Amino acid sequence: MTLDAATLDMLFLNARTHAHWQDRPVSDATLQEAWDLARMAPTAANCQPLRLLFVKSAEAKERLKPALAPGNVEKTMKAPATAICAFDLDFPELLPRLFPQTDAKSWFAGKPEATEASARQSATLQAAYFLIACRTQGLDLGPMGGFDAGKVDAAFFPDGRVKSFLLMNIGYGDCAKLHPRNPRLEFAEACKIL
Ligand SMILES: Cc1cc2nc3c(=O)[nH]c(=O)nc-3n(C[C@H](O)[C@H](O)[C@H](O)COP(=O)(O)O)c2cc1C
């Protein structure tokens, strides 16, 4: 079984990164639908270290603003929602529940570097899964690396156990304001089969 052409267009071929938004809110229920899909995708030892903080209120947006690169301020302030994508360094505590078939928690005991590397790796994958899951719900997104993670963490995650690594604006994009799509690498440029 494969997906039909309209679905492939929606998820990949016509889907774009957006910076301009329709005046249309994003419901909490739609964000939850996207999470319920994205959470099923794989992570290392099923550790699921991604934590999402959805910034929707004007007050929370103002708290986020000083951490944004100048070029990301307007699109973020105008987006109906901005997801702060972060990883939880305490994810091993949940492994007895999430991966009960073995003592996976012990793999990370006394290993802060391995813990952070694993958290960042799986959470980054989860952020990508979430982006695609949002597209299945008709949402548009604008991922952003241009922000000061230290400032975001101080403002939103002061306990030091949760670390931000990506922001994603979420809404319904204004397609009239898109620039032409930039090229993508061909299979032969990026891939090899041995
Ligand atoms: C990890 C990551 C970081 C990005 N950071 C920024 C950013 O800080 N500001 C911005 O305007 N766009 C940012 N982008 C958007 C990319 O430039 C955009 O997704 C890419 O050019 C593809 O555009 P398209 O989906 O419209 O083809 C980022 C995208 C990703 C995936």
* pLDDT for 82: 99
Residues 53-111: tens digit of each pLDDT: 999 999 999 999 999 999 999 999 999 999 999 999 999 999 999 999 999 999 999 99
Instruction: Quote the number of domains for the chain.
Output: 1
Ligand 1 atom 14: the closest Cα is on which residue?
A: 144
SS3 164: strand
Q: Is the CB of 72 under 6 A from ligand 1?
A: yes
Domain that holds residue 41: 21-174
pTM value? 0.98
The answer to whether residue 190 sits within a structural domain is no
* pLDDT for 101: 98
Radius of gyration of the chain measured on its C-alpha atoms: 18
The answer to whether residue 11 sits within a structural domain is no
Residues 11-27: tens digit of each pLDDT: 999 999 999 999 999 99
The answer to whether residue 62 sits within a structural domain is yes
Q: Is the CB of 177 under 6 A from ligand 1?
A: no
Q: Tell me the CA–centroid distance for residue 142 and ligand 1, in Å.
A: 7
The answer to whether residue 75 sits within a structural domain is yes
From CA 85, how far away is CA 66, in angstroms rounded? 17
Ligand 1 atom 5: the closest Cα is on which residue?
A: 144
* pLDDT for 105: 98
Residue with token string 């305490």: 90
